[in-house]
Amino acid sequence: MGNPTHNPVALVTGATTGIGYELSKLLAADGYSLILVARNSNLLQQRQKELEADYGISVQPIALDLARPDAVKVLTDRLKDRLSDIEILINNAGFGKLGAFWETDPETVVDMIQVNVTALVALTRAILPYMLQQGKGSILNVASTAAFSPGPYMAVYYASKAFVVSFSEALADELRGTGVTVTTLCPGPTRTEFQIRAGQDPQKPFPILPMMSAGAVARVAYRSLKRGQRMVIPGLMNRLSVLSSRLMPRRLSSLIIKWIQSRR
């Protein structure tokens, strides 16, 4: 099929709501043809119509559950003829679950690792060789400020984001000088569907850290992606919280997170 319009192409996972949707709008405004991935096919089609009408770009919606072990194979098979056109890859899809680890549904635990970690790594591995062939490309991996501390009562989520940070920073260094960049986005609390899906009470926000809007997070992230910046933490308070997690003994930051999460 190729890219008949010759617009640059961006692939965004988790593009229907929250940060991924806001990033999709910024990409569309810049003239990117979009490949959007999420599970809810009705909402995907709605996003396709909106973005095509508002920005005059083309959107390929792909309804796919990234928790499926074969998800990235299914996705790359469907995109066979377009993989070499992708200039921007945004690995944004992800979710968390509040609760004691041993009480969390066992399938949910595995799905979380599959979506937050495995799909992100596999998709990066699938698309990166094409970017290297072209000598250019930008990858944005969405982690979290949660990556910098153990997270009791959200243990798997925090650990999955720690993986994303470590993996993405290492890859950024491997890729130095190739024309391909990897940017790690570490948002703090952001007003999206995330809290409800995680089973958190939206009336009990994370203390001290103000909730940012998804639009504000996406704007900072997009600017950093364009610059090829290695890591971006939107919001001064979020940057300070990451700094304090880095300076504090891990045992202490773990106990603070345990206290906070047990009250949400």
When the beta carbons of 197 and 263 are compared against ligand NAP, the nearer one is 197
Annotate 237-256 with three-state secondary structure.
Answer: HHHHHHHHHHHCCHHHHHHH
* 180 lies in the site for ligand NAP, by CB under 6 A: no
Query: Are the CB atoms for 199 and 112 separated by under 8 Å?
Result: no
When the beta carbons of 5 and 40 are compared against ligand NAP, the nearer one is 40
User: Closest distance between ligand NAP and the C-beta of residue 226, in Å?
Assistant: 19
* 192 lies in the site for ligand NAP, by CB under 6 A: yes
Exposure string for 167-188, b = 16+ CB within 10 A, e = fewer: bbeebbeebeeeebbbbbbbbb
- Written as one letter, the residue type at 13 is T
* 16 lies in the site for ligand NAP, by CB under 6 A: yes
* 33 lies in the site for ligand NAP, by CB under 6 A: no
Q: Is 158 annotated as catalytic?
A: no
Block residue for tokens 């569309």: 28
* 190 lies in the site for ligand NAP, by CB under 6 A: yes
Paired tokens of 43: 């909402």
When the beta carbons of 48 and 84 are compared against ligand NAP, the nearer one is 48
Query: Are the CB atoms for 15 and 21 separated by under 8 Å?
Result: yes
**Which residues participate in catalysis according to the annotation?**
157
- Interface residues with ligand NAP (CB under 6 A) are 14-20, 38-40, 43, 65-67, 92-95, 115, 142, 144, 187, 189-190, 192-194, 197, 214
